[in-house]
């Protein structure tokens, strides 16, 4: 019986360590800030499925913030990090202060990336510039190594003057 208990303890420990390693951690300064979660599917004996709303400041463009909503799979597989998270994500980005660019960027530069399953699937938020309209364009999507998902969301941020600060031209900060 002692051998069985030792094996069970080792198995449970390995499962918990794996779940902690693959679950999205929201602690780093570069990671998004959790605003709130709302349950969507009630489960009596396991965690509920939820929608989680996050805020993220663009790390390269001061004065722009994005909010996005991710579904979180409930149940024991979702809790342990073994369920593959869904691909539906919504995104809204806005100018929240005077815009300034820290450095030049390429079209489609990554703003944020998060692993969404134990293997291969990830969520990405990327940024581009529409120089004709002086507008930043943000795209969120999920992909896999072999097959991506067509589900995506786009948000645009027209760059406007803020107080006495003139609006910079995003086209001047694109790498060519």
The answer on pLDDT for 144 being more than 70 is no
Q: What does each C-alpha distance from 91 to 2, 131, 134, 152, 156 come to in angstroms?
A: 52, 21, 20, 9, 10
pTM: 0.73
* 26 or 58, greater pLDDT: 58
- Position 76 scores a pLDDT of 61
Provide the residue ranges of all domains of the chain, joining segments of one domain with +: 2-173
pLDDT tens digits for 38-75? 987 777 777 777 899 999 999 999 999 999 998 887 65
33-42, 44-53, 102-111, 165-174: range with lowest mean pLDDT: 44-53
The answer on pLDDT for 110 being more than 80 is yes
- Position 31 scores a pLDDT of 83
- Position 17 scores a pLDDT of 43
């Amino acid at each position: 019986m002692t051998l069985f208990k030792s094996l069970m303890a080792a198995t449970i420990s390995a499962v918990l360590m794996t779940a902690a390693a693959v679950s999205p951690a929201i602690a780093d300064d570069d990671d998004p800030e959790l605003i709130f979660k709302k349950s969507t599917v009630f489960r009596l004996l396991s965690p509920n499925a939820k929608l989680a709303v996050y805020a993220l400041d663009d790390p390269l463009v001061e004065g722009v913030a994005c909010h996005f909503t991710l579904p979180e799979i409930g149940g024991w597989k979702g809790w342990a990090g073994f369920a593959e998270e869904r691909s539906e994500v919504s995104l809204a980005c806005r100018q929240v202060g005077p815009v300034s660019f820290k450095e030049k960027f390429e079209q489609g530069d990554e703003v944020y990336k998060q692993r969404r399953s134990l293997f291969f699937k990830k969520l990405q938020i990327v940024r581009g510039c529409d120089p004709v309209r002086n507008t930043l364009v943000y795209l969120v999507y999920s992909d896999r190594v072999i097959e991506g998902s067509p589900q995506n969301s786009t948000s645009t941020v027209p760059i406007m003057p803020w107080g006495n600060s003139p609006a910079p031209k995003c086209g001047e900060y694109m790498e060519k």
